[in-house]
Amino acid sequence: MNMKPEFPDAIKLAVFLLSVVPVSLPAIAGNAALPVTEQSVSMELRFDISGYVLEGATLLTQAEIDAAVAPFIGKNKDFSDVQRALEAIEGAYASRGFSAVRVLLPEQELEKGAVRFQVIESRFDKVVVKDNRFVSESNALNAVPSVRSGEVPKSKQIARELKLANENPARQLIVVLKSGEKEGEVDANIIVTDSEPSAWGATLDNTGTPETGRTRLGVSWRHANLFDADHVANLQFQTSPEHVNRVTVLGGGYKIPLYQSGDSLEFFGGYSNVNSVVGGLDNFQGGGLIFSARYNHPLEKMGVFDPRLSFGLDWRNFRRIEQTTPPVTVLYNEITVMPLSVAYSAKGRFSRSDLGFNASLSANLPGMNNGTSTDFAVYDLVSFTRPDANYRVARYGVDYSALILGDWQFRAALNGQWSRD
């Protein structure tokens, strides 16, 4: 009696593929007494593959699919080629950041040499915000705009959004994914660790000078969630307790995260006025006003390093420096510079150390009030040097920090600049 053998599930596809090769199932059945393994079947069974059909695939283009499976199409193929084609399709999804896609190989008969895959492109179902105390639910959701019901989970996009979201000093987020109630569904929990967004601070140190007082007293204020949109504002004031009328330094900053793109905008401002007395006789006065803007764009992660590009524009006005002890003598005239800059930086975090490096190039845009070539030519009244109004400056730096001997921290930094001007 001729009986059809039972094959393991892993090789059923290979058995069905026999319908396209000149070998009949009864002929194989005659060898049923021999041990049958996936390896032996894949080595013995050869067949032609004209293409692959992906049922349920909507996230990849046909060109991407064709490129992934091209090496596994042709004559005299075996089951291992089918398996590698499946893995190549999974890799194509992963390279696009789709982290919740399953590619299945259902039992089938080869029709005109086409192998059929079933693709399950999972989508978010329930999205829940947990443990938020100081920020609203909408605030946490806005920080990860790709995590929405009905959307396809994209691991790379979520990672970029979390990286920017967690730059906020008063709120940290993590996204936990789990299987949904139905096949093809993924639930997400956005877990929040937050603190009061508004904070005050004070500093006291001895970084001053004998002429203006050794002590420096500073007061700062920060709010990390203005308009419930994660806008971060900060203000600082610094003076000398010994000579309050000689030192006034004001500073402020404002940061706007752009979660849809992963970029951010930063604005800075500063004012200083210093009046120093040297040797109890000569009085020198100077100061300045600075405004800066930065557009930050993160780049793809390189191993443990997170790189970014920053594009900047500064406006800096330096008041004239003069010796105010009669007779008044001007040492440096007022000057204004407006450098345009591009900077690259990267920081890597290891188990007990951090390593970062940066490089930037800036070029001044002359022509502002007190910023022409003529103004630069008469700026220095001490050594009478003539700085170039069209100056270019390259800057670079490396910093390293590590925990040693328990909780002690070692830190080293190298900074430099180069210019032909």
Nearest to 316 by CA among 334, 331, 330, 332: 334
Q: Which of 149-158, 273-282, 300-309 has the lowest mean pLDDT?
A: 273-282
| pTM recorded for the entire structure | 0.80
Instruction: Let me know if 407 is exposed, middle or buried by CB neighbors in 10 A (0-12, 13-18, 19+).
Output: exposed
Query: Is the pLDDT confidence value at 21 over 50?
Result: no
Residue 258 to residue 225: CA distance in whole angstroms:
14
Binning pLDDT at 50, 70 and 90, where does residue 284 land? low
Note the pLDDT tens digit of each residue in 67-118.
999 999 999 999 999 999 999 999 999 999 998 999 999 998 877 789 999 9
How many of the other CB atoms lie within 10 Å of CB of 20? 16
Note the pLDDT tens digit of each residue in 191-239.
999 999 999 999 999 988 888 889 999 999 999 999 999 999 999 999 9
Residue 299 to residue 156: CA distance in whole angstroms:
12
Q: Can you say whether the dihedral through the CA atoms of 364, 370, 374, 380 is positive or negative?
A: negative
**Statement: 198-418 belongs to CATH 1.10.10.10:** no
**Statement: 123-194 belongs to CATH 3.10.20.310:** yes
Question: Maximum Cα–Cα distance for the chain, whole Å?
Answer: 124
In 120-207, which ranges are continuous DSSP H helix?
Answer: 137-143, 155-165
Query: Is the pLDDT confidence value at 32 over 70?
Result: no
Predicted pLDDT of residue 298: 94
Residues 15-33 have a mean pLDDT of: 32
**DSSP code at position 183:** T
Residues 390-407 have a mean pLDDT of: 94
Cβ contact 327:346 at 8 Å? no
- The amino acid sitting at 173 is L
Query: Is the pLDDT confidence value at 173 over 60?
Result: yes
Give strand ranges (E) for 12-113.
Answer: 47-49, 51-55, 74-77, 101-104
Encoding tokens for residue 208?
């001053």
Residue 101 to residue 54: CA distance in whole angstroms:
13
Distances (CA, A) of 377 to 221, 332, 339, 420: 41, 11, 18, 17
**DSSP code at position 302:** B
Q: What are phi and psi of 277, to 5 degrees?
A: -115, 125
Predicted pLDDT of residue 278: 55
Give strand ranges (E) for 36-157.
Answer: 47-49, 51-55, 74-77, 101-104, 114-121, 123-130
Q: Residue 241 contacts by C-beta under 8 Å, 6 or more apart in sequence?
A: 213, 215, 217
Domain definitions of the chain by residue range: 9-121, 123-194, 198-418
Query: Is the pLDDT confidence value at 406 over 90?
Result: no
Residue 169 to residue 383: CA distance in whole angstroms:
46
The share of the chain scoring above pLDDT 90, in percent, equals: 67
Q: What are phi and psi of 14, to 5 degrees?
A: -60, -35
Residue 272 to residue 287: CA distance in whole angstroms:
5
> Chain-wide mean pLDDT for the chain?
86
Binning pLDDT at 50, 70 and 90, where does residue 382 land? confident
Residue 420 to residue 393: CA distance in whole angstroms:
8
Q: Do domains 9-121 and 198-418 have the same CATH topology?
A: no
Predicted pLDDT of residue 277: 61
Query: Is the pLDDT confidence value at 285 over 80?
Result: no
Q: What are phi and psi of 88, to 5 degrees?
A: -65, -35
**DSSP code at position 290:** E
Query: Is the pLDDT confidence value at 39 over 70?
Result: no
Enumerate the β-bridge partners of residue 236.
Answer: 220, 251
Cβ contact 370:378 at 8 Å? no
Q: Return the CATH number of 9-121, one of 3.30.70.2190, 3.10.20.310, 3.20.20.70, 3.40.50.880.
A: 3.10.20.310
Tell me the HSE value of 142 on the side-chain side, using a 13 A CA sphere.
Answer: 13
